[in-house]
Amino acid sequence: MSHELTAQPLWTGDYYNEGTGRSDIFDTLKEECGVFGVYGHQDAATLSYYGLHALQHRGEESAGICVTNGVQFNYHREMGLVKEVFDKDRLASLTGDMSIGHVRYSTSGDSRLTNAQPLIFKYRDGDLAIATNGNIVNAPLIRKELEQTGSIFQTTSDTEVVAHLIARSSKDFIEAVKDALRKIVGGFAFMIMTNDKLVIASDPNGLRPITMGRLGDAYIFASETCALETIGAELVRDIGPGELLILDRGGLREDRFTEPQRKALCAMEYIYFARPDSDLNGANLHSARKRMGRQMALESFIDADIVTGVPDSSLSAAIGYAEQTGIPYEMGLIKNKYTGRTFIQPSQELREQGVKMKLSAVRSVVSGKRVIMIDDSIVRGTTSRRIVNMLRDAGATEVHVLITSPPFKNPCFYGIDTPDRKELIASSKSIEEIRKEINADSLAFLSPKGLIKAVGGNSANEYKGGLCMACFDNDYPTKLDFGGEEKRSF
């Protein structure tokens, strides 16, 4: 695949980004992030603070807000949680009525400040800020082409590729953005801001969630509806595949940069990532997870004394399983709320330590009981084994593990950090082998059909319920363009 790049003009301005951060072009980042945008509200920075705080679960390593007053950018980014990065004085200094904000979760070992977003550039037409949630599959290829024709990259973030494509175009800004988005392949929700425009875009498959709300006359955009709720904004709608929204003095223009492709919202958002009080594509997450638990009960009934969920993401499903079966729901596991997430951390050692820091089994609840433990996924198996053993150590006589997703066998290329396939336990082991490995009395996974049925929502009748299920079924909604042969499976 070739990418037509304008030969000139080359990058014309200075970078605002700290440090240099140049690295190997194959150093791709796979991250899960949250984005939040405001158009037309004088307290844009404060709203962004609360919005990003509500999206904190999507990225705990860095946070940033860039605001414009129509003339210049004011911005701040730092490593750390939203509440650590911003204080009252800092927010007061971020004046303006249009903003984009970002929280970032990086597990690739490259969690430098240079990659903290929004990324901010100065180019020939002025200032440019970009925040994104997702991953660009063909970023290394485009980056290589750009570097061969003179571009100098300052970060290792995929997002910078889009900035270069925009800056090198000789077309007007909106056409340049559209051209740039048409060149990239992947799962993404973009927020792109200049001093007089805010542009919001969703990838052609709608892989990553992005939603629009109103707060009075202001427009609010967020990765999840829980952020709209937090600031008192009203949900208007989700942004659809291939859409491009432009906000400027002329108001809101609803445009698109490409025709929509197969709708494929990330199934893991429903299973694990999004907050239970968020709605995605017309389905509330808590309710969808409860239906997963109910469906699990229909597919895999176990005769046991109590049902417990691994907090927090599996509590809703455990309640659903208990409701469907009549087996009592109990708090057999308690989460220490003052630690970070452990879905995938940088090293095995940290991950194992993380489980101990994060969870405790409640002895008086599980002792002498046959326990059904509901969890959302098994990635490497290490965490599951530790939790099962924790329940056994606390006196559980049997531990049956039910997973409210199909076996996770394939890596994600759309912004969810997953280990190599060889580290994914379900890619090489049978369910019985995994059961033995995690020391469970029995183990079952939710069927793909059961998952689609449970999610429901506005795309229930579409192909695969409008979901990306590639990490389960190896059917990727985009081509996988790494150079050489283009593929749809990996």
Site of interaction with ligand SF4 (CB under 6 A):
187, 207, 266-268, 412, 414, 416, 468-471
What is the nearest approach in angstroms of ligand SF4 to the Cβ of residue 81? Answer: 24
Residue in 312, 353, 313 with CA at minimum distance from that of residue 334: 312
What is the nearest approach in angstroms of ligand SF4 to the Cβ of residue 376? Answer: 12
What is the nearest approach in angstroms of ligand SF4 to the Cβ of residue 447? Answer: 16
For residue 212 the two structure tokens come to: 């629009």
What is the nearest approach in angstroms of ligand SF4 to the Cβ of residue 410? Answer: 7
Tell me whether strands 265-266 and 467-468 are parallel, antiparallel or unpaired.
parallel
Query: Does the annotation flag 66 for ligand binding?
Result: no
Q: Indicate if 66 belongs to the active site.
A: no
- Whether 370 and 402 have beta carbons less than 8 Å apart is answered as no
Query: Does the annotation flag 412 for ligand binding?
Result: yes
Looking at beta carbons only, is 361 or 416 nearer to ligand SF4? 416
| Length in residues, the chain | 490
Cβ-Cβ contacts under 8 Å for 132 (sequence gap 6 or more): 33, 35, 102, 117, 158, 159, 162, 188, 189, 190, 191
Marked catalytic residue, from 17, 21, 32, 33? 33
Looking at beta carbons only, is 193 or 412 nearer to ligand SF4? 412
**3-class SS at 99?**
strand
Query: DSSP character for 207?
Result: -
CB nearest ligand SF4: which residue?
A: 412
What is the nearest approach in angstroms of ligand SF4 to the Cβ of residue 167? Answer: 29
Looking at beta carbons only, is 77 or 464 nearer to ligand SF4? 464
Query: Does the annotation flag 313 for ligand binding?
Result: yes
- Whether 368 and 345 have beta carbons less than 8 Å apart is answered as no
Secondary element (H or E) of residue 325: helix 315-325
Give the whole-angstrom CA distance, residue 227 versus residue 97: 18
- Whether 134 and 105 have beta carbons less than 8 Å apart is answered as no
Looking at beta carbons only, is 388 or 412 nearer to ligand SF4? 412
Looking at beta carbons only, is 316 or 410 nearer to ligand SF4? 410
For residue 351 the two structure tokens come to: 């991950």
What is the nearest approach in angstroms of ligand SF4 to the Cβ of residue 419? Answer: 12
Looking at beta carbons only, is 121 or 414 nearer to ligand SF4? 414
Cβ-Cβ contacts under 8 Å for 251 (sequence gap 6 or more): none
What is the number of H-type helices and E-type strands within the chain?
17, 23
CA 432 to centroid of chain Cα atoms: 31
Cβ-Cβ contacts under 8 Å for 87 (sequence gap 6 or more): none
Point out the annotated binding site for Mg(2+).
313, 375-376
Q: Looking at the annotation, which residues are catalytic? A: 33
Point out the annotated binding site for [4Fe-4S] cluster.
266, 412, 468, 471
Point out the annotated binding site.
266, 313, 375-376, 412, 468, 471
